[in-house]
Amino acid sequence: MWSSEKYRFDDAAKKTLEQLRTPLAVYQFLNKRVVTVLVSDGFIDLLELEDREKAVYLMDHDMYEATHPDDKARIADEAVRFATQGGKYDVVYRTRTVKGDEYRILHAIGEHVYTEDGVRL
């Protein structure tokens, strides 16, 4: 089911997911854009971001800002394919932390899940 509104987790689920030490980001495809629904503490720490609000802003406005130039087009294309066609998202790429000049190698894995009310995340 395609939703026209940004999904909101209930307070207990949101708190549990946000407190995960494992890097996790939940996105939703809305109005032909990937929109960040939630990021975990582990995600914020991995990229050395200041706080959750800045992490969500960065992901919503330029999630590839710190990505190595040679990797940007490839992972952006894969993200569009994943958002529009489904399947698995499984990419390895280089990115810098907000504070760093050196690149880290990340392996991002994603799959679509559906909420109880049919919203695809």
Residues 52-95: tens digit of each pLDDT: 999 999 999 988 989 999 999 999 999 999 998 999 999 999 99
pLDDT digits (tens, 9 = 90+) for 11-21: 999 999 999 99
pLDDT of residue 102: 86
pLDDT of residue 71: 97
Cα-based distances in Å from 73 to 1, 80, 92, 107? 28, 11, 13, 16
Q: What average pLDDT score do residues 31-38 get?
A: 91
Q: Which of 72, 119, 94, 69 is nearest to 80 (CA)?
A: 72
The answer to whether the CB of 25 falls within 8 A of the CB of 43 is: yes
Q: What is the pTM of this model?
A: 0.89
pLDDT of residue 2: 54
Tell me: pLDDT of 3 over 70. no
